[in-house]
Amino acid sequence: MKFTIYGSGCAKCKQLSDNAEQAARSRGIDFEVEKITDTNAIIDAGILRTPALAIDGEVMLEGKVATTDEIDQLLS
């Protein structure tokens, strides 16, 4: 599974990444994390608000830091 975190690299982006990793670990899922900080790449992905989370290429969340439980629900 691949998580892509879109954002500037701020504290909210880091928290979203940490929450995604924790949710995957709790389910025993193998994963990798890619962090996209380039503004043009974020725009090209269609992201309007950051931080954003994509799972396996599909944007699941924009403009908020999802909790570990919220990300766990997306994984189920």
Catalytic residues: 10, 13
Contact assessment for residue 73 and residue 23, using Cβ atoms and an 8 Å cutoff: no
The residues near 47 (Cβ < 8 Å, ≥ 6 apart) are 6, 59, 62
Q: Which helix or strand (DSSP H or E) is residue 1 part of?
A: none
